[in-house]
Amino acid sequence: MAKNDNYLKNELDSMVRTDPTVFAFLQEATLDGIWYWDLEAPENEWMSPEFWELFGCDPTEKRHLVSEWQDIIDPEDLEVAKDNLAKHIADSNHPYDQIVRYRHQDGSTVWVRCRGIAIRDGAGNAIRLLGAHNDVTALKHFEMELIEKQQALQSALKAAETLTAEKMPAEEALQGSYAELEQRVADRTVELSQSNAALKEEIVERKQVEEILRRQREELAHVTRIGMLGEISASLAHELNQPLTAILTNAQVLKRQIDAEPMGLDDASEAVSDVINDARRAGEVIKRLRTLLKHGEHEVEVVDINQLVNEVAQLMNSEIIIKQAALTMELAPDLPAVSADRVQLQQILLNFLSLAFEHDVTATATDVSVSPFSKSLRCIFAPEANFDFAGVYPIGVHQALISD
């Protein structure tokens, strides 16, 4: 038995030749149509029903003629098939195998692998051509999708290469700009540091100047107070002389009575009380003078305006008598306390009263009214001038205003 012979193969070959059902099964199960072409009578060609069904045609309506399919095959593919057929007839080693396109009844394209083998006579002449069709439409669609994706990928790669080529100069320019920006930031940082140092020095110098000015203002205010007290020195001397003279007189009277005759306890107690009261009066005057002459920073405290007006009036009492003036005080009973510098308020009120006494030089007497009502202290003196000490609020003291 030959190497390629097998009893089962031989048995199958015999069944294909003798049993039509076996041939039909193989055709339907493995192929999408077969055809058998008479090369001696080229117009005749037998085509299986599957051949026509692949193209959406009714096999019963088709004749077994070559012209039946030549009008639905792609013209270019037909020329390729004819060329391969001629080469295969001339040389059996040249395969008759190509992919051709047919037009389906619905207008779509069916891709078919068309293969054939020439049947030759004893002289080697091709007299028949046995062929088979395989539907490869799905494979061709898949192949075209792969080609499209490959083309898209190539385009993307080319675009990426172009972008990379364009990006390199841009990156170099960006790096250069970044380096320049860093240098500018560094230079600006140095400038700001220098400016900050200079500003700190300027702030220190300004604070020193402000401290010098503050001290000068305090010194000026102190000198002003001393000068003001010099102007009313006669009044202050009188204020001190009165209690001191009364103390001396009471002490002398008390001594004479003790030396002359025994005196009762009631008389002695009354004399001693007078001495104590006069001493207190002198002490209060001295205390007020010390406060006005105090050298130092301003001290904000809670001030009773009515009490302050009374204290200033007592300091100016002798001056009022000397100037033959009349001082009328209209003090509100429930005036709220204010936060202020007591010495500054006393100095301002003393200045007002001194101005009032000096203002009316033609009148025989000066009438001065001090009224701490509402939000201001008002000094009114005859016949024509008003001095408003405005802005004394419970939260502080504002600038004094003078209006004629």
Per-residue pLDDT of 14-55, as tens digits, reads 877 887 877 776 676 568 888 889 999 999 999 889 999 999
Is it the case that residue 305 has pLDDT exceeding 70? yes
Distances in Å between the Cα of 138 and the Cα atoms of 47, 50, 85, 134 are 23, 18, 26, 11
DSSP sequence for 226-242: HHHHHHTHHHHHHHHHH
Structure confidence at residue 4 (pLDDT): 57
Is it the case that residue 231 has pLDDT exceeding 80? no
Identify the residue whose tokens are 């001493």. 279
Is it the case that residue 125 has pLDDT exceeding 90? yes
Distances in Å between the Cα of 223 and the Cα atoms of 65, 278, 298, 349 are 141, 30, 15, 17
**High-pLDDT (> 90) share of the chain, %:** 25
List all residues 6 or more positions away from 226 whose beta carbon is below 8 Å from its beta carbon.
Answer: 293
Identify the residue whose tokens are 């000490």. 389
Band (91; pLDDT cuts 50, 70, 90) = very high
Per-residue pLDDT, averaged over 271-283, amounts to 72
Is it the case that residue 114 has pLDDT exceeding 50? yes
Identity of the highest mean pLDDT range in 73-77, 271-275, 306-310, 326-330: 73-77
Strands 338-341 vs 392-393: parallel, antiparallel or unpaired? unpaired
Length of the chain: 404
Work out the mean pLDDT of the chain and round it to a whole number: 76
| pTM, two decimal places | 0.39
263, HSE (Cβ side, Cα atoms, 13 Å): 16
Identify the residue whose tokens are 């009036």. 313
Q: Are 355 and 363 in contact (CB under 8 A)?
A: no
- What SS3 state is found at 386? strand
How far apart CA 31 and CA 45 sit, in angstroms, is: 18
Q: Are 338 and 305 in contact (CB under 8 A)?
A: yes
Band (61; pLDDT cuts 50, 70, 90) = very high
Q: Which helix (H) or strand (E) holds 376?
A: strand 376-381
What are the tokens at 189?
A: 């940082």
